[in-house]
């Protein structure tokens, strides 16, 4: 049984009358990548702030690295790396100086900071920008720098709050690649995201959050097996004809049918087989696609909504 | 790798090291500001040097030439520029305390977010507060030192007690900085910072015995002036500069400013915690 680094039981966070996190339970084990998946406002960031020991829980129990985040917050933070949703880099300083300042906060000797800075900037592919100001860096570079900075104290747990939100697809892939490498090296990751592909690629285990509660928990594969079918048939129709098609398809009694604004999602063990039945019934979609189920389908099933509205 | 299960025992935190003292942690926060200042100090030099020169030139010599024609008995028999210089030093220390607290503290939360970066590390809100105050105190002291050197160069210092002008003006600036920082950390809009300057610093500068003795004010308004921190700072600096120091009065001035600083320290401890541990 691997070492438990974080244990939450009935963890709750209220702001006045608003309950942001409503009694959630989870364990984080050393070496795993654990994800919180959910739409904006689901309580992911509030949970991350509690894990980062900068937000005292309103109720429940939370143990991080064996300590109490309220009593031992500073000591726990000494072993955490945090990549916040919004960059907190100092734009007046150079790339290298940002790591120096941060390393000094942890009381690391200059020599060690300098060695680690070289390694970390190499790791996030910013060596050539080491002495440049932070201000003109692109969004993706700043995010990579924030990741490098969060690793300066060689943390036991790396906490990432929406690490790729706001990045263009290319920059996002570079960040994913770096995070995946960290995971391969055995760094324990906690991350929040509202991107399915991010969760599927990076997370060993994840929870789906909605309205401050955990709607489901498991590995991506388990969640898909439990809450979705193996395959999904996506059909699009000419404007105005979708409603008629929906009625006809209901007669074919699919295992599950989701109607979104622009398409129908038909859940089936064998998508091609179902598509053949659709054709046989004389239904002519504009486009048709058979694909494997993803976490998006799980989320849609659990909450009746897509992740990014 | 061990196959033994390792249970978490919340009552005995295992791997967590002991935290360094708050002084060590505060100095770490201070050093961050110092590094930033090393990058940006040039811009601040001009205001530190030309501020005093402009004030002394306009108020001391310009206005002073008119005042001195009418006799200086009510000023204690010294030329107006000698009378006004230590008071301008005090005003400048107050402004230095306000501006070095208000804007950088708000910025730490909203602009460069230095506070938000620091709170994710070992630093606690109180360490962040005290570390920043150390830096503010350094800047206030540097500005005052610059002013005092210029005063001395113009021959405006009349007493050996003036060696205490530096700690006195630094204390005055510090007494303004601590409550200002405590308040600024709570703000959501930068425009709010104009109020203490417009409705606080400006009237204080005009009516705290700075440019004319408080005895020139109507009798009923004088107690109001005596109640302001700037009046105590002005009176203290002027007594040190002119050499007519009364030990009892000096103790009251220093006591008042120390109490104000202490109040700000206590208040800031609370506001920083509330804003950084949300």
CB B139 within 8 A of CB B177: no
Helix (H) or strand (E) holding B176: helix B165-184
Interacting residues of B79 by C-beta distance below 8 A, sequence separation 6+? B64, B68, B72
Interior angle at CA A193, CA B107 and CA B10, nearest 5? 80
Share of chain B above pLDDT 70, in %: 95
Distance (Å) from the alpha carbon of A199 to chain B's nearest alpha carbon:
24
Give the residues across from A14 on adjacent strands: A19
Q: Is the pLDDT of residue B30 over 70?
A: yes
Tell if the CB–CB gap between B16 and A54 is shorter than 8 Å.
Answer: no
- CB-based contact, A83 to chain B, within 8 Å: no
**Closest residue in chain B to residue A158, using alpha carbons only:** B120
Domain that holds residue B139: 22-40+47-276
Q: Is the pLDDT of residue B101 over 90?
A: yes
pLDDT tens track, chain A, 309 positions = 689 999 999 999 999 999 999 999 999 999 999 999 988 889 999 999 999 999 999 999 999 999 999 999 999 999 999 999 999 999 989 999 999 999 999 999 999 999 999 999 999 999 999 999 999 999 999 999 999 999 999 999 999 999 998 899 999 999 999 999 998 888 999 999 888 888 888 999 999 999 999 999 999 999 999 999 999 999 999 988 888 889 889 888 888 898 888 889 999 999 999 999 999 998 889 999 999 998 888 988 888 776 655
Q: Which of A50, A68, A74 to mutate to test the interface with B (most CBs of B within 10 A)?
A: A74
CB A72 within 8 A of CB A56: no
Q: Give CA–CA dist B70/B63, Å, rounded.
A: 12
Q: Give CA–CA dist B185/B274, Å, rounded.
A: 10
Tell if the CB–CB gap between B117 and A89 is shorter than 8 Å.
Answer: yes
3-state secondary structure of B80: helix
CB A63 within 8 A of CB B9: no
- CB-based contact, A85 to chain B, within 8 Å: no
Tell if the CB–CB gap between A75 and B13 is shorter than 8 Å.
Answer: yes
Provide the pLDDT for residue B6: 43
DSSP annotation of B156: -
Q: How far are the Cα atoms of A15, A128, A192, A309, B108 from residue A143, in angstroms, in the given order?
A: 29, 16, 15, 24, 20
Q: Give CA–CA dist A155/B205, Å, rounded.
A: 51
Q: Is the pLDDT of residue B8 over 50?
A: no
- CB-based contact, B42 to chain A, within 8 Å: no
Backbone φ/ψ region at A23: left (φ over 0), alpha (ψ -120 to 50), beta:
left
Q: Give CA–CA dist A66/A30, Å, rounded.
A: 13
* The two three-digit tokens of residue A10, written as one number: 């009935």
Residue B210: name the closest of B102, B69, B65, B95 by CA.
Answer: B95
User: How much is the average pLDDT of B171-188?
Assistant: 98
Provide the pLDDT for residue A205: 96
- CB-based contact, B194 to chain A, within 8 Å: no
User: How much is the average pLDDT of B233-253?
Assistant: 95
Considering the segment(s) A229-292 as one domain, its CATH architecture is: 2-Layer Sandwich (3.30)
- Asked whether residue B102 is domain-assigned, the answer is yes
The number of distinct structural domains making up chain B is 1
Which 3-state string (H, E, C) describes chain A? CCCEEEEEEEEEEEECCEEEEEEEEEEEECCCEEEEECCCCCCHHHHHHHHCCCCCCCEEEEEECCECCCCCHHHHHCCEEEECCCCCCCCCCEHHHHHHHHHHHCCCCHHHHHHHHHHHHHHCCCHHHCCCECCCCCHHHHHHHHHHHHCCCCCCEEEEECCCCCCCHHHHHHHHHHHHHHHHCCCEEEEEECCHHHHHHHCCEEEEEECCEEEEEECHHHHHHHHCCCEEEEEECCCCCHHHHHHHHHHCCCCEEEECCCCEEEEECCHHHHHHHHHHCCCCCCEEEEEECCHHHHHHHHHCCCCCC
Helix ranges restricted to H, B4-124: 22-55, 64-69, 80-110, 114-119
- Asked whether residue B6 is domain-assigned, the answer is no
Distance (Å) from the alpha carbon of A226 to chain B's nearest alpha carbon:
29
Sign, CA dihedral A68-A72-A77-A78, equals negative
Residue numbers in B near A160 (CB within 8 A): none
Residue A210: name the closest of A48, A19, A57, A37 by CA.
Answer: A37
In chain A, the largest separation of any two C-alpha atoms, in whole Å, equals: 74
Which of B5, B40, B122 is opposite residue A77, by nearest beta carbon? B122
Give the residues across from A190 on adjacent strands: A34, A159
Superfamily covering domain A4-218? P-loop containing nucleotide triphosphate hydrolases (3.40.50.300)
Count how many pairs of residues, chain A against chain B, have C-beta atoms within 8 Å.
108
Q: Give CA–CA dist A289/A273, Å, rounded.
A: 12
Which of B32, B40, B112 is opposite residue A104, by nearest beta carbon? B32
Q: Give CA–CA dist B39/B55, Å, rounded.
A: 28
Please compute Rg for chain B using Cα positions. Answer: 22
Which of A1, A68, A77 is opposite residue B5, by nearest beta carbon? A1
Interacting residues of B227 by C-beta distance below 8 A, sequence separation 6+? none
ipTM of this complex prediction, to 2 decimal places = 0.89
Residue identified by tokens 């040039």 is B42
- CB-based contact, A63 to chain B, within 8 Å: yes
**Closest residue in chain B to residue A14, using alpha carbons only:** B278
Q: Give CA–CA dist A108/A71, Å, rounded.
A: 23
Distance (Å) from the alpha carbon of B189 to chain A's nearest alpha carbon:
19
* The two three-digit tokens of residue A209, written as one number: 């959050």
Residue numbers in A near B8 (CB within 8 A): 4, 7, 63, 66
Give residue-wise pLDDT tens across range B70-81. Answer: 888 888 889 999
- CB-based contact, A137 to chain B, within 8 Å: no
Distance (Å) from the alpha carbon of A173 to chain B's nearest alpha carbon:
25
Tell if the CB–CB gap between B17 and A54 is shorter than 8 Å.
Answer: no
Q: State the CB neighbour count (10 A cutoff) for residue B151.
A: 23
- CB-based contact, B116 to chain A, within 8 Å: yes
DSSP annotation of B244: -
- CB-based contact, A154 to chain B, within 8 Å: no
Residue identified by tokens 């830096």 is B135
- Chain A 165-204, CB below 8 Å of chain B: which residues? none
Provide the pLDDT for residue A1: 65
Q: Give CA–CA dist A81/A32, Å, rounded.
A: 15
Give residue-wise pLDDT tens across range B210-239. Answer: 999 998 889 898 998 899 999 999 999 999
Residue A145: name the closest of A162, A155, A133 by CA.
Answer: A133
Q: Is the pLDDT of residue B5 over 60?
A: no
Domain chopping of chain A, boundaries: 4-218, 229-292
**Model confidence band, residue B13 (pLDDT cutoffs 50, 70, 90):** very low
CA contacts within 13 A on the Cβ side of B252: 12
Mean pLDDT of the residues in chain B? 91
Query: What angle do the packed helices B247-276 and B125-153 form, to 10 degrees?
Result: 140
Which of B9, B19, B118 is opposite residue A105, by nearest beta carbon? B118
**Closest residue in chain B to residue A2, using alpha carbons only:** B5
DSSP annotation of B58: I
């Amino acid at each position: 049984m691997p070492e438990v680094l974080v244990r939450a039981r009935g963890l709750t966070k209220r702001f006045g009358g608003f309950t942001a996190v409503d009694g959630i339970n989870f364990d984080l084990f050393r070496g795993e990548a654990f994800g919180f998946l959910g739409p904006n406002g689901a309580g992911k960031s509030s949970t991350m702030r509690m894990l980062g020991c900068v937000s005292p829980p309103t109720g429940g129990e939370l143990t991080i690295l064996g300590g109490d985040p309220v009593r031992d917050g500073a000591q726990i933070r000494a072993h955490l790396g945090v990549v916040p949703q919004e960059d907190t880099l100092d734009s007046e300083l150079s790339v290298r100086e940002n790591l120096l300042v941060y390393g000094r906060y942890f009381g690391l000797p200059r020599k060690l900071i300098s060695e680690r800075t070289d390694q970390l900037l190499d790791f996030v592919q910013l060596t050539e920008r080491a002495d440049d100001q932070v201000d003109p860096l692109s969004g993706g570079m700043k995010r990579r720098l924030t990741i490098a900075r969060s690793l300066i104290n060689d943390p036991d747990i790396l906490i990432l709050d929406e690490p790729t939100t706001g990045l263009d697809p290319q920059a996002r892939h570079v960040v994913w690649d770096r995070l995946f490498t960290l995971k391969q090296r055995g760094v324990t990751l906690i991350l929040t995201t509202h991107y399915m592909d991010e969760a599927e690629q990076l997370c060993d285990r994840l929870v789906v959050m909605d309205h401050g509660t955990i709607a489901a928990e498991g590995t991506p594969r388990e969640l898909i097996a439990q809450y979705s079918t193996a395959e999904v048939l996506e059909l699009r129709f000419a404007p105005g004809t979708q409603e008629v098609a929906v009625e006809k398809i209901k007669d074919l009694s699919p295992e599950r049918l989701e109607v979104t604004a622009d398409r129908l999602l038909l859940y089936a063990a064998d998508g091609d087989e179902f598509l053949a039945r659709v054709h046989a019934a004389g239904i002519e979609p504009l486009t048709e696609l058979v694909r494997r189920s993803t976490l998006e389908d799980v989320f849609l099933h659990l909450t009746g909504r897509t992740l990014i509205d | 790798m061990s196959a033994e299960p390792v249970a978490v025992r919340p009552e005995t935190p295992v791997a967590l090291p002991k935290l360094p003292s708050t002084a060590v942690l505060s100095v770490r926060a201070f050093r961050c500001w110092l590094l930033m200042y090393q990058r940006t100090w040039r811009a601040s030099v001009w205001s530190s040097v030309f501020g005093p020169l402009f004030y002394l030139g306009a108020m001391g010599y310009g206005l002073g030439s008119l005042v001195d024609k009418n006799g200086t008995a009510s000023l204690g028999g010294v030329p107006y520029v000698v009378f006004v210089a230590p008071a301008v030093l005090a005003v400048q220390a107050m402004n230095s305390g306000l501006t070095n607290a208000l804007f950088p503290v708000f910025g730490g939360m909203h602009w460069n977010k230095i506070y938000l970066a620091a709170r994710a590390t070992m630093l606690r809100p109180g360490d962040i507060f005290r570390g920043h105050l150390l830096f503010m105190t350094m800047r206030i002291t540097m500005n005052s030192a610059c002013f005092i050197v210029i005063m001395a160069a113009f021959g405006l210092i009349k007493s050996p007690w003036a060696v205490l002008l530096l700690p006195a003006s630094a204390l005055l600036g510090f007494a303004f900085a601590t409550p200002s920082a405590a308040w600024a950390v709570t703000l959501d809009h930068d425009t709010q910072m104009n109020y203490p300057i417009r409705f606080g610093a400006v009237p204080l500068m005009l009516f705290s015995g700075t440019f004319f003795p408080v005895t020139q004010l109507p009798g009923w308004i004088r107690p109001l002036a005596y109640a302001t921190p700037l009046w105590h700072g002005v009176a203290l600096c002027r007594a040190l500069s002119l050499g007519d120091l009364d030990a009892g009065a000096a103790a009251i001035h220093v006591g008042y400013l120390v109490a104000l600083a202490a109040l700000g320290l206590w208040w800031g401890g609370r506001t920083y915690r509330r804003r950084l541990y949300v």
